[in-house]
Amino acid sequence: MARHTRHSAFTLVELLVCLAIIGIAVGLLLPAVTAVRESARVAHCRHNARQIGLALHAFTAERGRLPGNQPVPWTVDMVRRLDPTLLPPSSPADRNVAWDLMPAARVDVPTFLCPSGRSRPTDERAVTHHGLNHRLPDAKVASITDGLSRTLLTAEIPAEFAAPWTWGPLADEVNLGAAHPRTVNVTLADGSARCLDRSIDPEILRGLFAPNDGVGGFSD
């Protein structure tokens, strides 16, 4: 007499239920993974902002003032401290150099780049997503009377305002921004890096850019 062995198997309904559960789990996990990755990018950008702030302070300690933007872009002076192999040493001939035509203009400077933003415009010149406070080129530290912790030194600028780093782009109240969803990384004049909420009060923002208006930006 033949013996029949019964094999257990998923029914179509059970299979559909399992697929639905997997789909829901993936849907719940993806936003969390995306948030973690973006948080890491924000932290990386903040580290870059801190490195730029340290380089600016080193320049100021040496020259007694912050770098200018003409005829030598401030970013050129920073690159000489961040990556000395990329550019030739400073010389009087710097005044006659077309920096954006140099081969180095097509080389990415990782410290200038936001990992959430595109790195190059269509002409292939490498860009920076960090700009110097437009009120501070050539400024002396003593002229920042509102306080170093209440004045912006650098700030992120979004991709649509990003320019070749050899231009030494500046940041102001209009072009402040970043590829991050809610925050903008800035360096304060005391060298510290901080995340600003993109919904910051415009009056506070104006105070942060102004080094000596008597307002002073942050209250803490």
More confident residue, 13 or 185: 185
Domain assignment present for residue 216? The answer is no
pLDDT recorded at residue 30: 61
pTM of the predicted model, to two decimals? 0.79
- Residue 94 has a pLDDT of 84
Facing residues of 156 across strands? 130
Q: Does residue 220 belong to any structural domain of this protein? A: no
State the average pLDDT over residues 149-159: 90
> Which domain covers residue 152, as residue numbers?
18-209
Residue 6 resides in a domain: no
5 lies in a domain? no
Say if 91 falls within a structural domain.
Answer: yes
Residue 199: predicted pLDDT: 82
Confidence of residue 217 (pLDDT cuts 50, 70, 90): low
pLDDT at residue 118 tops 70: no
119 domain-assigned: yes
Domain presence at residue 215:
no
pLDDT beyond 60 at 5: no
- Structural domain includes residue 29: yes
Between residues 126 and 36, the one the model is more confident about: 126
* Mean pLDDT on 21-45: 69
Residues 6 or more apart in contact with residue 179 via CB below 8 angstroms: 114, 116, 117, 129, 158, 159
pLDDT band of residue 36 (cuts 50, 70, 90) is: low
Domains: count for the chain:
1
Output the pLDDT for position 220: 46
